[in-house]
Amino acid sequence: MGGAVTTRSTSQGVLGRDERRQPLVARRWHLRDTPVAWLFLLPVLILFGIAVVFPLFDTIRLSFYDIKGLAPPKYVGLGNYTRLFSDPAFLHTLGTTLTFTIGVTVIAVSVGWVVAMLCAFAPRQTLPFRVMIFSAFGISEAVTGYMWITMLRPGADGLVNALIRSLGFPDFAQPWLGDPNTAIWALIVAAGWAATGLPLMLCFAAVQAIPKSVLEAAYMDGAKPVSIMLHIMAPLSLPGVRVAVFITLLNALRAFDIIYVLTGGGPVRSTETVGYFMYRESMTQFKLGYGAAATVILLVAVLIVSIPAVIQRTAGAR
Amino acid sequence: MTGRAPRWIIVLVGVIAFVWIVPIIGVVVTSFRPPSEVVLGWWRLDNLTFTLSAWTRIWDAYPLADAFWTTLQLATLATLATMILTPAAAYAFHFLKFRGRRLLLILIINAFVLPQQVVIIPLFQLWRELGLIDSFLAVLIPYVGLSFAWSIFLVKNFLEDFPKELIEASRIDGCTPISTFRHVVLPNILAPIFALGILQFLWTWNALLLPLLYLRSDVPLPVLFARIAGTYDLNWDLRSVAAIITTIVPLLVFLVFQRQFAAGAQSRTGAKE
């Protein structure tokens, strides 16, 4: 969990820099590289082609067709897209996606960041606590969904409502997952709970990478922990936090499993994100072309969020 | 700064951590108590009986053992395939020269942003045409194909720090590219290969969407559990046992190897299959 975790992806390779000044032996060797390279890459390229390249282009192609069940596809141009943007269910989905993605990211990154900074004061003593919070990330999302179904049960055996009642607000206790107005927030809490571990670890690595001398100096000057966090750790860990924000945004945008198990998109489609909507339309309603068009919208959203990361990886690819 | 940390910080982090795992504790406690005791909440201690009843009845209630075996096979096969194919590809990208190298590399390492939703419709149609629905290949191919987006990035990043002198020396000693890979590179990159194996194992074990769509008769644990979790039965004890069985292997693997996980998850950005 050292600082190398965050810096590695940005470090420029030493090996690629002086490729042009290679000795004659090496260059002759390279002439014979090509067949070997393709031999090494062949299985990867075939599998990558089937699992990534083909579906990517085929999804875009299918989004221009009207496909219902096994009937022959009919070309409809941008028809699916105009229908999407006049479909109230889809428009609602866009809002839900935005709320869900931002809500999960705010919970996961803010809790993860604050805990990471607190942990940096006593890295060894707090290691078990970090692992405890991170452990939610290793749990199957299907199980995470179930855990929160049990936490949010409306009866006496639901811990959340029991706590609210025992604190003296019996009127606030309610079937969180049964009400369209609260189900989305319940979903955000559950997904945020599961997502917090990763930002915690990334932010912790970023805080750990701050030179010890800076922190020692602040200590010598008598700075209190809270002001060290606010004025030194927070600003100096920002690069790591940015990575954490991006990763959490990306994962929330692509979410499916937890929605499927916890709410199934309901009640009355109130918790459907675009990623869930495409599944529902294509795999339960068998409107494959319509679902593909929704997937393309999701893809566009994902690409917009990912532009900085893609630029960085492309520049670093040598 | 160790040793000078104010006590309240450690206490505060500890409290947050314990609050964090309350949902996990709830499921574990429910699985060991008779249902009659927990109708008012698993945290009630007025009468406390420890029972393994649910743990013995579970095997007849749900086909968990079959699903466990299916999951183990799928996760193991997908993990081995990724572990075997990735190092050679990363080596080719890093040390060999060939036309289109950089373009291919850029394509593959940027594919990590793609949502799994992109694959489901085209592959659903393709598998239906090929009669592969309900075959392990229907999920193994996307599991492994999608993994290259992050696994090659992970190994290639590790190779950035690989001492170039070793490669040069092996060239001068007359090694071919293949023997350089086998005898010089491979023995020195076992750490990242192991790390990506752990990541791939966890994510394929926990995968829900693809097996939900492409497998019918032999389904892995998350798919079976998703069916169990959403029912209106009142058998919370049985369902809690099923939850634990579904996630115990990835959770243990995760707890043991969480260091590698934290490092590797960045290249994969924590995406789940």
Contact A54 B126 (CB under 8 A): yes
Are residues B167 and B137 located together in one domain of the fold?
A: yes
Q: Tell me which of B259 and A134 has the higher pLDDT.
A: A134
Out of B104, B115, B265, closest to residue A275 by CB: B115
B43: phi then psi, degrees, rounded to nearest 5: -85, -10
Residue B2 located in a structural domain: no
Contact A118 B9 (CB under 8 A): yes
Nearest CA in chain B to A306: B113
CA distance A245 to chain B (A): 11
Residue B187 carries which DSSP code? Answer: G
Are residues B221 and B152 located together in one domain of the fold?
A: yes
B116: phi then psi, degrees, rounded to nearest 5: -65, -20
For A274, the domain range is 4-18+81-316
CA distance B261 to chain A (A): 9
Contact B26 A159 (CB under 8 A): yes
- pLDDT for position B265: 53
Burial status of residue A71 (CB atoms within 10 A of its CB: 0-12, 13-18, 19 or more):
exposed
Residue A57 located in a structural domain: no
Asked if the model's pLDDT at residue A22 lies above 60, the reply is no
Residues of B with CB below 8 A from A202's CB? 262, 266
Out of B10, B213, B230, closest to residue A122 by CB: B10
Residue A235, CB half-sphere, CA atoms under 13 Å: how many?
A: 7
For B162, the domain range is 66-268
Are residues B202 and B99 located together in one domain of the fold?
A: yes
Residue B127 located in a structural domain: yes
Residue A302 located in a structural domain: yes
Residue B60 located in a structural domain: no
Residue B59 located in a structural domain: no
Out of A4, A288, A302, closest to residue B121 by CB: A288
Are residues B34 and B121 located together in one domain of the fold?
A: no
Helices A127-135, A197-208: crossing angle, 10 deg rounding:
150
Residue B58 located in a structural domain: no
Are residues B176 and B251 located together in one domain of the fold?
A: yes
Residue A53 located in a structural domain: no
Residues of B with CB below 8 A from A298's CB? 115, 117-118
- Report residue A37's pLDDT band, with 50, 70 and 90 as the boundaries: confident
Contact B17 A133 (CB under 8 A): yes
Domain holding A274: CATH number?
1.10.3720.10
Tell me the pLDDT tens digit for each residue of B81-108.
999 999 999 999 988 888 888 999 999 9
Out of A142, A150, A253, closest to residue B225 by CB: A142
Nearest CA in chain A to B205: A140
CA distance A299 to chain B (A): 7
Quickly list DSSP for B18-85: HHHTHHHHHHHHHHTS-GGGGTT-TT--SS-----HHHHHHHHHS-HHHHHHHHHHHHHHHHHHHHHH
Are residues B70 and B162 located together in one domain of the fold?
A: yes
Interatomic CA distance for residues A77 and B24, integer angstroms: 49
Q: Whole-model pTM?
A: 0.89
Out of A41, A156, A198, closest to residue B265 by CB: A198
Residues of B with CB below 8 A from A62's CB? 121-122
Percent of chain A topping pLDDT 70: 90
Are residues B246 and B136 located together in one domain of the fold?
A: yes
Domain count, chain A: 1
Are residues B112 and B158 located together in one domain of the fold?
A: yes
Asked if the model's pLDDT at residue B35 lies above 80, the reply is yes
Are residues B170 and B254 located together in one domain of the fold?
A: yes
Residue B9, CB half-sphere, CA atoms under 13 Å: how many?
A: 25
- pLDDT for position B260: 67
Contact A36 B92 (CB under 8 A): yes
Interatomic CA distance for residues B151 and A168, integer angstroms: 52
Q: Which of A1, A2, A10 is nearest to A239 (CA)?
A: A10
Domain count, chain B: 2
Residues recorded for chain A: 318
Residue A145 located in a structural domain: yes
Are residues B235 and B127 located together in one domain of the fold?
A: yes
Tell me the pLDDT tens digit for each residue of A176-209.
888 999 999 999 999 999 999 999 999 998 998 8
Residue A286 located in a structural domain: yes
Residues of A with CB below 8 A from B261's CB? 137-138
Out of B26, B152, B178, closest to residue A151 by CB: B26
- pLDDT for position B261: 65
Nearest CA in chain B to A116: B13
Instruction: Out of A95-99, B72-76, B235-239, pick the least confident.
Output: B235-239
- Report residue A13's pLDDT band, with 50, 70 and 90 as the boundaries: very low
Asked if the model's pLDDT at residue B136 lies above 90, the reply is yes
Are residues B86 and B28 located together in one domain of the fold?
A: no
Are residues B99 and B70 located together in one domain of the fold?
A: yes
Quickly list DSSP for B90-131: HHHHHH---TTHHHHHHHHHHGGG--THHHHHHHHHHHHHHT
C-alpha dihedral (A164, B8, A116, A208), degrees to nearest 10:
180
Nearest CA in chain A to B171: A26
Residue B273 located in a structural domain: no
Residues of A with CB below 8 A from B255's CB? 131, 135, 138
Residue A58 located in a structural domain: no
Asked if the model's pLDDT at residue B197 lies above 60, the reply is yes
